[in-house]
Structure 1
Amino acid sequence: MTTSTSVRARFLGAGQITFDKATLGPVADGHVRVRVDVCALCGSDKRLLQSGSPVVPGHEIAGTVVDVGAGVTTPTGTRGIVYIPVYCGTCRRCVAGRTNQCLNLRELIGWQRDGGFAEHVDVPARCLLPVPDDVPLTTAVLGLDTVGTAAHALRLWQRIQPDGVDRALVIGAGPLGLGVISVAGAFGITAVEAYDPHDGRLATAVELGARAAADLESENQYDLVVEVSGAAAAREAAQRVVAPGGAVIALGESNAPYTMPATPRWRRTDCFTVRSFYFPTDEVAANWDLLRAHGVALRDRLTVPLTLDALPDAFARFVAGDYLKPCIVSEDAR
């Protein structure tokens, strides 16, 4: 392959983003080079925006294979989404299909190795999940965090409450919370309430079928609470409003420790706390079905297509709450 160049974003910390141009050499053995057609911004990226990153951030990636390394059978032209855990493929969890539980997991794409806020990204071939022909890449990218993570959390929940629930609450109506609301009905959850301090996000939750929660102070209200914001106040509210016998799903990301209140009421509350991380590859086929049913409605309500050079402004407006899910979209995907 003749080497080419690729523009990449660099996060310097304190909200500063710059760009450089890298020369691309040969693709490493076992890897594919992906032209980044879509890379969505995620709330967790805000941490790297402030701290800075030694690698190119961006972990919600959809794109097209343009080159491959030795030993790879994936053809160029393959459309795919990038699975961010660089799983080993050989441990007992991976062999069982539970790749999100890889016992040798050390790297996440966009966190410990270069991600998708660039024109190209090289990833292990096993981390490229082919996208069905009937699913546009602008929708497929929601199969990662927005729908994939949401659906996996609800599949975990079904194991502990197989008979369903009467009332469910989603705290935090960002993209992941809205993903939970969108697919909840597919898991038998028919009555969903939502809370978010941002009026626009809450309005979107209502558009997607939730009812605005009226009371986050009274105890013992909900059989299921999905906490998606990661904020201390939201975590405290989740543990306050969950009913005995209920479940709290902790999806929200934060650098702050997750704590449980040392109160008599909490000590006497018999309930489940579930921490969910991403989704395994053996759920991907079922997730495509969810996207076929809900993906376009989510995409049209959540995403704003932008160009890579607009990334600094996209993050500024994302942090300010003006955008729900800005996406860097190449001309090829528009």
Structure 2
Amino acid sequence: MTAPANRRAARFRGEAVIDFTVDDLREVAPGEVRLRVDVCALCGSDKRLLAGGSAVVPGHEIAGTVVATGDGTSLPVGTRCIVYIPIFCGACDQCLRGQTNRCLRLRELIGWQRDGGFADVVDVPERCALPVPDDIGQDVAVLGLDTVGTAAHGLRLALRTQDEPPRRLLVVGCGPLGLGVVAVARAMGVEAVDAHDPHPGRLALAERLGAGTRVDLESENQYDVTVEVSGAAPARAVAQRVVVPGGAVLALGESNDPYTMPATPRWRRTDCFTVRSFYFPLAEVEGNWDLLRRCGPALRDVLAHPVTLPELAQAFEEFVAGDLLKPYIVSGAPA
């Protein structure tokens, strides 16, 4: 496999302006590997960089193939990988326990403070390149990052608060991550998974994944676990209202607004766990591959819309408008 001498990369200039540069590539740094980007999925959080601009190449949901390696690495050229975005130290107490998403020295995320995957190739620390099992394609493997990995980690934390498996779980917000929560909760064996979203098309996709969609948003004390995935204040209020005493509210939605709790008599008299999680630890990767085998192909089929890197600006335009749910920037290589 021949390593390229240069790369084409997307640059986010702010105010939805994207242009491309062709950059000469240096030798791969010691301890790092160079990946041909096979798939880089768009994420809702990328919209912030689209609006405000970025000093680095964005794109953090990456599946790629090793095309070159630096000194001190052991991954063979040709290895298919997904990219773990927190650049963890590997030496602090949390990392040594396998909780790499909680690294005490975490300073950089790939695609945020360091070049990401909206490019032909990307260099990453070898420890952040996670080999993909032979029976999982790149178009499914990439869902093991934000869509399934983040969903599964949050659900594992929330379920840990409960004395017995939940009988009813509600997902509020059916974007890609919310649909990931629906699929993962069902794969984990939650008895009844319901979903709500004001967008009828997204709600129909949740139904395709097995969620109930006839939901009472007003009555209190209905669900053992509620998962809020939009970050919107009304959605947060719903998740807090319908959870049973002793239940758990999992706050996965991102927002610039503070997370608040209701100043009501009912809330003051309610035992409840509020859970916030970030990404997933390497300790959970093997379990995530098993989940992907069960629910990944169905998720890909309802989410993914493949486009090429030169079509990135148009893909973002349709993504922001809600016309595309999960654009995949793909190379010409087979997935």
Which of the five TM-score ranges fits, normalised by the shorter chain? over 0.9
Structure 2 CA distance for aligned equivalents of residues 61 and 327 of structure 1: 10
Deviations 1:11-69 (A, max 9, x none): 11111111111111111111111110000001111111111111111100000011111
Runs of 5+ in structure 2 lacking a partner? none
Structure 1 CA distance for aligned equivalents of residues 48 and 311 of structure 2: 19
CA contact (8 A) 2:187 2:294 kept: no
Quote how far apart the aligned CAs of 1:3 are: 7.0
Paired residue type of 1:212: T
Paired residue type of 1:195: H
CA contact (8 A) 1:226 1:249 kept: yes
Structure 2 CA distance for aligned equivalents of residues 129 and 279 of structure 1: 13
Report the 3-state secondary structure (helix = DSSP H, G, I; strand = E; otherwise coil) of the residue aligned with 2:198.
Answer: coil
Structure 2 CA distance for aligned equivalents of residues 267 and 313 of structure 1: 48
Residue 161, structure 1, aligned to residue 162, structure 2: yes
Report the 3-state secondary structure (helix = DSSP H, G, I; strand = E; otherwise coil) of the residue aligned with 1:86.
Answer: coil
Structure 1 counterpart of 2:174: 173
Structure 1 counterpart of 2:87: 86
Structure 2 CA distance for aligned equivalents of residues 49 and 257 of structure 1: 23
How many residues align structurally? 334
Structure 2 counterpart of 1:5: 6
Runs of 5+ in structure 1 lacking a partner? none
Structure 1 CA distance for aligned equivalents of residues 163 and 33 of structure 2: 40
Report the 3-state secondary structure (helix = DSSP H, G, I; strand = E; otherwise coil) of the residue aligned with 2:263.
Answer: coil
Structure 2 counterpart of 1:244: 245
Quote how far apart the aligned CAs of 1:213 are: 3.9
Structure 1 CA distance for aligned equivalents of residues 68 and 166 of structure 2: 48
Structure 1 CA distance for aligned equivalents of residues 288 and 302 of structure 2: 19
Quote how far apart the aligned CAs of 1:155 are: 1.1
Structure 1 CA distance for aligned equivalents of residues 317 and 235 of structure 2: 24
Quote how far apart the aligned CAs of 1:158 are: 2.1
Using structure 2 for the length normalisation, give the TM-score: 0.97
Question: Quick check: 278-287 or 254-263, which moved more?
Answer: 254-263
Structure 1 CA distance for aligned equivalents of residues 107 and 15 of structure 2: 26
Report the 3-state secondary structure (helix = DSSP H, G, I; strand = E; otherwise coil) of the residue aligned with 2:40.
Answer: strand
Deviations 1:253-279 (A, max 9, x none): 122221222222222221000001111
Aligned counterparts, 1:216-231, within 5 A: 216-231=217-232
Structure 2 CA distance for aligned equivalents of residues 23 and 70 of structure 1: 20
Aligned counterparts, 1:250-269, within 5 A: 250-269=251-270
Structure 2 counterpart of 1:43: 44
Paired residue type of 1:112: Q
Paired residue type of 1:210: A
Paired residue type of 2:92: C
Report the 3-state secondary structure (helix = DSSP H, G, I; strand = E; otherwise coil) of the residue aligned with 1:309.
Answer: helix
Structure 1 counterpart of 2:288: 287
Which consecutive aligned stretches of 4+ in structure 1 deviate over 3 angstroms post-superposition?
none
Structure 1 CA distance for aligned equivalents of residues 112 and 21 of structure 2: 18
Structure 2 counterpart of 1:274: 275
Structure 1 CA distance for aligned equivalents of residues 277 and 112 of structure 2: 18
Structure 1 CA distance for aligned equivalents of residues 314 and 174 of structure 2: 22
Question: Quick check: 264-273 or 121-130, which moved more?
Answer: 264-273
Structure 2 counterpart of 1:145: 146
CA contact (8 A) 1:303 1:326 kept: yes
Structure 1 CA distance for aligned equivalents of residues 166 and 250 of structure 2: 14
Structure 2 CA distance for aligned equivalents of residues 116 and 183 of structure 1: 25
Aligned counterparts, 1:67-82, within 5 A: 67-82=68-83
Question: CA 1:245–1:290 in 2, change beyond 3 Å: closer, same or farther?
Answer: same
CA contact (8 A) 2:39 2:331 kept: yes
